[in-house]
Amino acid sequence: MLDAMAHRGPDSRGRASAPFAEVGFVRLSILDVANGTQPFETAGPEEGRASCFLNGEIFNHRRLRAGLAHDGACLETGSDAEVLPHLFTRHGGALFDHLEGMYTVCVLDRAGRRVLLGRDPVGIKQMYIYRGAGLVVFASEIKGLLASGLVPAEVDERRLLPLLTMFYVTGSGTLVRDVEQLLPGQVATVGPGATVEIRDAEPLIPEQCDGFSGDIASSIVRKALVDAVGGQLESDVPLGLSLSGGVDSSAIAIAAAEAGHRAMVTLTVSYPDTDQAEATSAQELASRLGFEHVLLSPDTGALARDLPMLGWLADAPVLDPALYSQYLIANAAREHVTVLLSGAGGDEVFGGYGSYFPSGAQQVLLGLPGPLRSLASVLVRNPKHRDLLRHAPSRYGLHAALMSSLGPSGRERVRGMLPGSADPYARLFSAFERHAGRDPAGQQMAADLETYLPEQVLPMADRASMAASVELRVPLLDVSLIRTGSPLNSEIKLGTPPAPKRLLRDAIADAVPAGFFDRPKTGLPNPMTGFVHAEWDGLVRSVLLAESAPLTGWFGAAWLSDLVATRDSAVRNYRVIGTLVALAAWHRWFVQLGRVDRPEIGTRELFEIPA
């Protein structure tokens, strides 16, 4: 298992055992490189009671240290993980209530004959658990579970429809049968007889409040931003910021400078065939703030060659095409830094996605009176508009449609071929219901914070960065900043007329030149469209329609043939085809071949396709 997880921690390994459990750990050294080897053990009268492991970072460890030292504890290293056994001695299973950070934590409690597993409240780090006959296996990636030899590599076919629809398996389920993931903030107790009890987290997102003016809100956000970023800059190894020139990463750079941190390198990715405006802006901002700046030109790779790597990266799997681009960026950044700050989360907290801004036609449909909506839902021909009308005036239908890779007819065809499929939208619908008291855009942001972010965005970012042995930190998702930004209503955050992340822009406006953000957002390059266009009649058809592949058995050759009937149809359906191709690579490597190591072969060799 440790060999399969070595990319996550190439610097050292640790183990702890008890008659009822054994735990292994691989470490990426960030704080107190020399003395931070894990596990950390309970001491004093509690010596030998528990061994504690930390994946990630505890950002409030210095405050915790001060309190522990005041109570007489003796802490001997600079590692944030050292606070864990002391907290466990004092608080038992409630130690997680005292942590602020991005983490999964494991406590091997010998005296209690149990193992405690906790995931941070935002879901920045992940924990996967397999329950078998009389045993429990857990790891930070599914490939670690499979490497144990105790977890059958069997596909849970109920999860295929959510995967094709959303790019990821929703909720606590995974694509591997009997493997589940902890949801954000959950704590699992593995006890005698391999029992697993899961404690849910307290709600992360506060109720919406309307009592702020824009100026006051801007000032509050600026302070919370500086505090959040300043609290995440501690590192004993090179630390950098992925600076795109967009609002989110620029806000982090400005906050870092304001917090007095100048020992950070900013890194900007430049692709030859993309607009260079953001790269130029990033260079200007870095120079203005006094940061060392590095322009990265990662090998854009060749997806036609690297499908085995994409399948291996996907792991759980998460199959957004951006996964491959994020890995290439992290791999290039590893030459300069070990810790990389990212602007992930700004869209969900401060309102940056286009889905939060309905078009004129969508606004008209959402605003129709009830009887007219019923009539319109019969007359309109666009299936996405029908879904929108069915749930109006709530934006749930609109949001679900915009999040979907698979349209209504495709979902019905897949559901017909895979009876018993899980509902792709169950979690999303519950989140909208839970936040029904918010304004419409606020509902969307809260739903994304609870579902899309921890189930797709953050696992993808973690997998891509850790595959390159880089720790990714996301300061815009600091809990204190979420609790500052999330309660504000959409009029405060987006302004009138609404514009993406207007409040965050206003909060940092004095630190950038006028018009600095007045350009379209470039975003990560999407390698899948070019791959599908170039390989439509080659690798794409070979992988999708192979008789020996599982895809035809699950989805039927007729539907798959329809998707790739022509080059134009394939390009139109690139999101679904990209998911299917990556799924086939994942399945071939992990299930059919039973491999967990990093692939060192090409696509044709993986699928045994003649050259």
| Dist CA 192 CA 112 (whole Å) | 9
| Dist CA 499 CA 489 (whole Å) | 14
Paired strand residues for 191: 195
List Cβ<8 Å contacts ≥24 apart for 431-439.
Answer: 432/394, 432/395, 432/396, 432/399, 435/205, 436/394, 437/207, 437/208, 438/208, 438/489, 439/208, 439/489, 439/490, 439/491
| Dist CA 6 CA 9 (whole Å) | 5
160 φ, ψ to 5°?
Answer: -70, -40
Buried b (16+ CB within 10 A) or exposed e, 270-303: ebeeeeeebbebbbebbeebebebbebebeebeb
Cα dihedral 248, 253, 254, 255, rounded to 10, equals 90
What is the model's pLDDT at position 379?
77
What does the DSSP 8-state code read for residue 241?
Answer: E
Q: Cis peptide leading into 393, omega within 30 of 0?
A: yes
What is the model's pLDDT at position 158?
97
| Dist CA 534 CA 539 (whole Å) | 9
pLDDT (tens digit per residue) in 253-269:
999 999 998 888 999 98
More confident residue, 207 or 348: 348
Is it the case that residue 572 has pLDDT exceeding 80? yes
Reading the block at residue 258, the tokens are 């304001």
Contact 446, 349 (CB under 8 A): no
What is the model's pLDDT at position 525?
66
pLDDT (tens digit per residue) in 443-455:
999 999 999 999 9
The average pLDDT across 16-35 equals: 96
Contact 290, 262 (CB under 8 A): yes
pLDDT (tens digit per residue) in 529-550:
888 999 999 999 999 998 777 9
Secondary structure class of 339 (helix, strand, coil) = strand
What is the model's pLDDT at position 214?
77
Residue 563 identity: L
N-to-C CA span, the chain: 34
Alpha helices in 259-302 (DSSP H): 277-289
Reading the block at residue 567, the tokens are 């080059």
Length in residues, the chain: 611
Q: Which helix (H) or strand (E) holds 166?
A: helix 160-166
Paired strand residues for 179: 130
Show the beta-strand stretches assigned E in 206-312: 239-242, 265-269, 292-296
| Count of alpha carbons within 13 angstroms of residue 112, beta-carbon side | 16
| Dist CA 89 CA 481 (whole Å) | 30
What is the model's pLDDT at position 380?
80
Alpha helices in 474-595 (DSSP H): 479-485, 490-494, 502-508, 527-535, 541-545, 550-555, 557-563, 567-572, 574-586
pLDDT (tens digit per residue) in 444-491:
999 999 999 999 999 999 999 999 999 999 999 999 999 999 999 999
- Smallest CA-to-CA distance from 110 within 51, 53, 165 is with 51
339 φ, ψ to 5°?
Answer: -120, 130
Contact 477, 122 (CB under 8 A): yes
Is it the case that residue 274 has pLDDT exceeding 70? no
pLDDT (tens digit per residue) in 327-361:
989 999 999 999 999 999 999 999 999 999 998 88
The single residue listed with the structure tokens 């078998």 is 132
- Smallest CA-to-CA distance from 331 within 234, 472, 193 is with 472
Grade residue 271 by pLDDT with cuts at 50, 70 and 90: confident
Q: What separation in angstroms does the CA of 286 have from each of 252, 254, 257, 264, 337?
A: 11, 9, 10, 10, 16
